[in-house]
Structures are given as structure tokens and as C-alpha cells.
Chain A
Amino acid sequence: MTPSAYVAAAPAAQVNSGLAQLSDDLMIIAILVYAVALLAFTIELGYGRRRRTVAEAAEEAAPEFAGVAAAGRTTAAAGESATSAVAGAGAVTETGAAATGAPGASAASGRHGPADDAAGATHRAGAVGLAATVLGFLVHGGMVATRGLAVDRWPWGNMYEFVAAITLGAVGTFLVVAFRYRARYLGAFVLIPVLLALAINVRYLYVDAGPLVPALHSYWIAIHVTAAIIATGAFTVSGASTVMYLMADRAERKRAAGEAVKGVLGRLPGAALLDRLAHRTVVFGFPLWTFAVIAGAIWADEAWGRYWGWDPKEVWSFITWVVYAGYLHSRATAGWRGRKAAIVSLIGFACLLFNFFAVNILFSGLHSYGGV
């Protein structure tokens, strides 16, 4: 006589098996295309050449002003785009330099020099990787859409569909960041977990397309689950960026200590840049996650007779929320900025993953829609 009495029940609905089969095929194609993209990104990471930093470029063009001018411009451009940084530096020299000056964010953090804002090494393969990711994203989107059309409902009713949707959200967030901030250097670090998740999904979590249980018959599934999926996608990109930040930070510490930095570490973009990207994606994901939790509470109020009941899923959503809130605050707290905040962010991501995998599979609760 618990509400989960209804969990096992499901309605009659026709499944379009042709579309369902198409969806399964598209999943495999998407995985293959992503694998190509990952290979290309890995080549860029392994063999790419660091572009001259803006400071270097400006120094060649107008050595007498370069120090200040380029520093300011780097701030202006690096966050936005590497190419415009170079173009920007050109514009500065052309008009006589130093329209804007000074170090901005990078200098404010004290330890880092302007070069921290440098974008990572680039290679022609990176562009191929980005193109392949776009293609994979479209195929992946088609997979999710056909799955939904096959069963005539929102395609998030079980673990298999959740993983497909969350990875789609992660790749989508990555593409936005890649184009808007020229941050395709995140590619390998985003695609590795995405491919792992998709492989696990196809191998272990696959269930045939089917109808939903009555408890999920509500328009709130579109609101609550969609928000949670997009937020999870954003947090995934943030996690990838944070891991890269910790690596790049180590590289910079080594460099500062006079040690040589070789291999992938030496080709990473500046730590400050990665840190900002990680922060931006959390700033995007956190309000969405908050909204997802609140929408879930409203739905729970309608379906289960209370808006908050400390169901395991609710507990871990709350914990995830609290840890990411802690991350946002720690960035504004002396002694916590930088590495410590980054580790808090990774703990938040770990809680998110735990909430998704462990709570769905290991714990019995009202959110037992895992369908594994």
C-alpha cells in the first residue's frame, strides 16, 4: 500500500517496432561517429601545436607596448575566442596599441601570468573532431527522437533512455561551449565519459522500447526530467573542464618551478581559462538543477502526497545541490579558490553520478524507474 504499488503497472500502448529498430541502429552509428571524433580530438591533444599566444603575437608586431597591451587583450579575447584574440591583437597594433590595458581576471588571481589564458594546442584533426561531434550529435538526437516517436511519449522512462538523453545533453553543452568560446579542446575529455556511458548503456542497460508506468503519466515528466537531463549534461562538461583545469594547473606549477612540461600536459589550454569554463557551465547547470529539484517537488506533491519526503533520489539530489552551492560559494572564499573549489566541484559531480546510477539501481525508493 505504498505509492510504489503503482510502479509495476503499465498502460497499453502500441510500440512502433520499425522506429524502435531505427533508434537502436542510430545509437550504434552515433557511438561510431563519436569514436571517430574522440580519435581526432586525441590527435589534436597529442600532436597539436600551441599557437603563438597573443602576447607573443603582439610582441612581434609592436614590441614596445606588448607587455601591457597584449595582457589586457588576452583577457578580452581568450575567454571568448582564440582567433579573435589574435585578430584583436592585430587591431591593437594597427591603431597604435593599448586601447584597453592591464591584466583583468588572470592578474587578479595573482599567481597566474597572462599566458594562462592561452588556448590549447591546435591541430587540423581538431576541426575534423568537431565536425564529427556535430554529426554524432545529430544522429544521437535522431536516436532519442525516434525512440520517443516509437513509443509515442517522452523518451525518458528508464535508465537506457536517461543515459542516452544525458549524454546527448553533455555533447550538446560541449558543442555550445566549443562554438561560443572556441573550447573544442574539451572534446576528448567530454567524449571519453560520453562514449563510456553509451557503451555501458548499450551493453548492460538496454531495454526494449515500451510504455511507461502510470505514475509517470504526467506532463511533469517533460519539465522535471528534461531540466535534470540538461543540468546533468552541463555538469558533465563542467566536470571535464575541471579535470583539465587540475591538470593544466599542475602543468603551470611545474613550469613555474622551472620544470619542463611535456606531452599532453604541455598542450593544455591555460588553467584560468579552463577554470572559468568550468564555472560558467556550473552557472548554467546549477539554476537548472535547482529548477529540476523544485519541479520534482511539485510533481511529488501531486503524485505522492508530499513535496519532499527524503526518498533516496531526493536525498542525493539535495546533496548534489548542496555541494554545487558549496562550489559556487567556495570560489568567493579566501583560501578555497582554485584547486580546492575544483575538488568540491568534482565531488558534486560524483554525487550527481551516484544519484543517477547507484540510487536508481541499488536503493529501493519511489524513483525506482530504472527498468534494468
Chain B
Amino acid sequence: MTQTTLRDIETRQDGGPRPAGLGPLGWLRWGWRQLTSMRTALILLFLLAVAAAPGSYLPQRGVDPGKVTAYFQQHKELAPILDRLSLFDVYSAPWFAAIYLLLFISLAGCVIPRLGQHTRALRARPPAAPRNLGRLPYHATFTVTDAPADVLAAARATLRGYRADGTETTVAAEKGYARETGNLLFHFALLALLLAVGAGAAFGYRGNVLLNEGSGFANTVAAYDRYIPGSLVGAGDLQPFSAHLEDFAATYVTEGRTRGQASSFTAKLRYRESPESPERPYDLRVNHPLEVDGARLYLLGHGYAPVFKVTDGNGEVPWDGPVPFLPRDQITYTSEGVVKAPDAGPDQLAFLGYFFPTSGKTADGKLTSTFPAPDDPTVTLLSFKGDLGLDAGVPQSVYAIEAKGLTKIGKSTTLRPGETLELPDGAGSITFTGYREWASLQITSDPGRTWALVAAVLAIAGLLPALTVRRRRVWVRARAGDGGRTVVEVGGLTKADGDGFAPEFDEITEGLRARLRAAPPSVGDKE
């Protein structure tokens, strides 16, 4: 029993030297040993750290696709090259996957055999005492008047909490199995975490939807403004719930330096788990998502949707309803949007508008908003007629208009609720009838998230003993010495990296001596 024996338990062996003249099986085995060696695992670990870094600097499609588009516009030459290297999708890139999969295979190749070893070690007896306890890193010798059998009984009593075994002349004791148990638990928990994250990504989905007050949605792919399904999710797998936004309310700071900042947001929802279930109310707030049938609804943002009634040149009403405007400024909630009336005749109509919740004037007399709450709602509209370009079937943003094919008519006009803008040349009119608020929701379904949490908690539970428990072995040998006295030898061994075992070892030795009411110790350090 030497120090290296304990080290073997704690440490992985490095892959051996390159073999010469081995068959394919031999090479395979060599390769496997290389992959599962600690050095390879370490290199993979550092590679993973390096590979993760560019995703924090470059915009990522999975995080903010708009920023990726902007990057493409700014860096016309560089962006396609980076894209080919998957640098806008770092965390789903093949090379990133290759690193972590290799790392986890390496990890599995290491911890699975260790699980077997540890299970055997847990059932095994502590190893027999080495012949020469004096060679151990910790050792003590003293003599007592008690008989050897009594000494050994006392040693067992002193080593309470140790797993003890022995012969007629020795006691062998070991403690600290929790270190390896924790170590294995931690590493298996990491494997489980990877599986849970992977399963969640494959079987889950997420999507965004914008709801005006008074409108609702059913959880179908078609209802989403943006929908990102996992690779194994079909359209039929979505939970059949539905939700309806009754009212959205925000409160704002009215005084002081932080005037205009929001202090709370509440979206009053009514929802059904399925078309058959009863309708329930829920107040959706930031940090307080709604959980329905395994999916979660989050309040993401809010804004204003002014309500317009558009009358065309033929006297028909091609549009009458709310149009969501996007906030351009978070403090004043000045919002921007477009009203499109493709069904208008004889010309199609479009309006570019600004919404000011509390209208006011800037120093140079321009219209602006002075507060985010709708205290004095006002819109300004710029009108267009012509061809909206929607008939070509090319998808357009609902928040922008294609200027091509459209002619500006009239001047920018300011309206308050109830006021109507008559378009020149009998092209029609538009009435600003009022406003509603909208809330944007994110819906996520991640069936792996509970398992990921369980795995993470287990990882921490394993990490603590793996880092703090010391594995140690203590042997006590008692043999008859000169003059009817018994020579007691105590030897201790611990992982080389560990220190601070000395006080515990001293305590054991002193405890044993106190128990035996020992005579003054002999000087026998060298045998």
C-alpha cells in the first residue's frame, strides 16, 4: 500500500505512449484511452471555454436575429465568411457540438468505469496494513501496558466513523468514501444536465405573440408572430390552451429624477387549459410567468395600439380597428407604426404614424411625448396612396411600408381622439377613434427544464463532498514488545493533494493513548 495507490483512485491515468505495430483493435483501444485521459479532457474543457467566447461578441441568431441582419449590412465582406464558420450560431455550431460531445464521451468513458470501481470499493474491506507503518506519511509509535487485543479493541473504538477491518495484530480503517461518491454524482449529474438541455431543445418550442387589449390567441403555430420549434416538435404537439388579454396596466413614477420610469406592469389575462376547461383569470407580471400545461407565458413588453377607422374613395371602410405601434423611446413611449389599407379603392391607402401618449412640445416647437402614460394621446399621420406592393406575395413587415409605388398625399397632420383627417382629392379619410394597449407575450415549452434543475441541484450536492471530504486510511498495529509492554504503531495515509490531515491524525493517536492511559511514548521512530 503506497501513496500512488490512493492517487490511482483519485486520478485518471494519462494515455500511454503511442503503440507500435498494433492492429485496428489496438489502435481503437489506444484512441479510446487517449480520449478518456485526463489530459485530453482538460484540453477539451479549455477548448470549450475558448469556443464559447465568440458568441458573446458576435450577434447570435438564437438571441437576437435582428442584430445579425444589422451586422450583415455593416460588414458585407466579413459577415458571409463568419456565417460559413457558424459564428452567428456558435452554440448550435457543429464544431461547438463536436467539442462538448467529445468532452462528454471522454467524461462518460472516465466516470462509468469509476462507478464500477467505487461500487466495489464501497463493499470492499479496507486494505490490509502495510508491513512497515513507519514509512507512511503520517505515523506514530508508543508503548503501553495493555495487551495487544485490548489495544486493537481500543483502536476500533477510537476510529468510530471509520470502516474498520483487521487481523489478530492490526486494525485497518478507511473513511471519506463520500469524496468519490460526490465526485461521481457531480459528473453523472453533468451528463444528465446535458441530456436534459438537449431533450428540452428538441422537444420544446418558443414563440412570441402580440395581443391587443380585448384580443386573444389559441396556442397554434399560426397564432405566433415568431415561432422557434425544437427539431422534434410537430405542429400538433402544441398544448391546446388559449389566452385572452382583457386589460394591460402600467404605472409610472410621476415625480423626481426617475419620472417616467415604469414601476409596475400587469397584464390581466383569461385563459383555458384546453377548449373544454373552464376559463381562469391570471395577472401576468414581470418575474411572474403563467404556467399552463407545461408551457409558460411571460410578459415581454407592452405598447400602444391606436384605433383607426379608414374610409376610402369609394365610401367603403376597409379598416376599422387597433394598429399596434412600436415604442421608439422607453421613457416617453413615443411610438411608431403604419396603417395599411390594401382593400381601399380606387387607390390603396397607407399611413405612417407616430403616437404620443402625453403630447407636448420640445424647445424648438416639435411635437413629442412627455410621459409614457396615455394622459393626452395624440397621433401624427403622413398619408400615402398607390400600390402597397402586397399583391406580389413578397412578405412585408407590418411595421413598415414600401415607399416604392406609393405617393405621399397631403402634409403631416396631428389628430386627437375623435378627429378625422380628410385626404385631398377625395381619396378618403382616416379617423383616430382612440387607443388600446398591447402586451407582447413569450410562450416557452421546455420539457427538459425540471430535469435540468434536478441535475444541477445534484451536481452541487455532489460537488460539496467531492471538494471537501478527505479520503484517508489509518492502520493500527499492536505487538508484544520488551518487558511485557505492547508496542503500538499508528500509520495514516491520505491523498497527496490533501493537507490538514495531521491534526486529525494527532487526535486519533492522542485519543487512542488517552483511551489506553498510555505510558510515556517511546522514541521509536525508526524501526
Contacts and interface: CB of A to CB of B under 8 A. Distances in A.
B216 to A, nearest CB: 19
A1 B525 contact: no
Contacts of B453: 294, 298, 307
B264 to A, nearest CB: 7
A2 B300 contact: yes
A248 B112 CA distance: 40
A282 to B, nearest CB: 9
B56 interface: yes
Contacts of A290: 459-460, 463
A1 B326 contact: yes
Contacts of B52: 315, 318-319, 322
B261 interface: yes
B197 interface: yes
A88 B259 CA distance: 66
Interface string A100-114: 111111011100000
A107 B523 contact: no
Given A76-B503, A102-B137, A329-B42, A65 B525 contact: yes
B261 to A, nearest CB: 4
Contacts of A47: none
B-side interface size class: 35 or more
B81 interface: no
B467 A283 contact: yes
A311 B63 contact: yes
Nearest to A298: B453
B502 A72 contact: yes
Nearest to B441: A305
Contact of A105 (B49, B499, B509, B522): B499
A90 interface: no
B482 interface: no
Interface string B131-146: 0001011111110000
Contact of A305 (B10, B197, B289, B327): B289
B261 A10 contact: yes
Interface in A81-107: 95-105, 107
Nearest to A294: B456
A154 interface: no
Nearest to A67: B525
A65 B526 CA distance: 10
B480 interface: no
Interface stretch (B26-34, B418-426, B442-450): B442-450
A75 B502 contact: yes
B300 A75 contact: no
B497 A331 contact: yes
Given A96-B521, A104-B502, A294-B456, A332 B10 contact: yes
Contacts of B124: none
A80 interface: yes
B49 A329 contact: no
A6 B440 CA distance: 12
A328 B179 CA distance: 14
B511 to A, nearest CB: 13
Interface stretch (A22-30, A155-163, A209-217): A209-217
B53 interface: yes
A32 interface: no
A63 interface: no
A304 B11 CA distance: 40
A326 B49 contact: yes
B523 A65 contact: yes
A345 B452 CA distance: 28
B286 to A, nearest CB: 5
A107 B326 CA distance: 69
Interface stretch (A142-150, A171-179, A333-341): A333-341
B86 to A, nearest CB: 13
Nearest to B141: A98
A294 B193 CA distance: 12
Interface residues of A, number: 83
A1 B502 CA distance: 61
Given A102-B139, A329-B42, A286 B467 contact: yes
Contact of B258 (A211, A319, A359): A211
A79 interface: yes
Nearest to A348: B49
A291 interface: yes
A315 B55 contact: yes
A276 B265 CA distance: 51
A99 B444 contact: no
Given A102-B139, A312-B56, A305 B444 contact: yes
A371 interface: no
Interface in B233-257: 253-257
Interface in B11-27: 11-12, 14
Contact of B505 (A65, A100, A103, A351): A100
Interface string A103-131: 11101110000000000000000000000
A5 B139 CA distance: 66
Given A100-B140, A308-B197, A315 B499 contact: no
Nearest to B513: A99
Contacts of B142: 99
Contacts of A109: 496
B445 to A, nearest CB: 10
Given A6-B301, A72-B502, A98 B49 contact: no
Contact of A80 (B48, B452, B503): B503
B137 A104 contact: yes
Contacts of A323: 46, 49
Interface string B498-527: 111111011001000000000011110100
Interface string A283-324: 100110011001001100111111111111001101100110
A336 to B, nearest CB: 7
A12 B502 contact: no
Nearest to A291: B460
Nearest to A78: B499
Contact of A99 (B57, B296, B456, B506): B506
Contact of B523 (A5, A98, A302, A329): A98
Contact of B525 (A73, A98, A351): A98
B502 A214 contact: no
A210 B38 contact: no
A301 B49 contact: no
A206 to B, nearest CB: 15
B301 A5 contact: yes
Given A214-B262, A306-B444, A102 B136 contact: yes
Given A1-B300, A11-B261, A305-B296, 8 more contacts: A10-B263, A77-B502, A109-B496, A276-B499, A322-B52, A326-B49, A333-B12, A359-B56
13 contacts: A1-B440, A2-B301, A10-B253, A77-B502, A98-B141, A101-B140, A105-B498, A105-B499, A108-B3, A109-B496, A303-B286, A311-B63, A323-B46
In the complex, the 7 A-B pairs of residues with the closest C-beta atoms, listed nearest first: A76-B502, A11-B263, A9-B262, A108-B496, A10-B261, A312-B56, A315-B56
Interface of B: 3, 10-12, 14, 38-39, 41-42, 45-46, 48-49, 52-53, 55-57, 60, 62-64, 90-91, 134, 136-142, 197, 206, 208, 210, 253-258, 261-265, 286-289, 296, 298, 300-303, 326-327, 330-331, 440, 442, 444, 446, 449, 452-453, 456-457, 459-460, 463-464, 467-468, 496-503, 505-506, 509, 520-523, 525
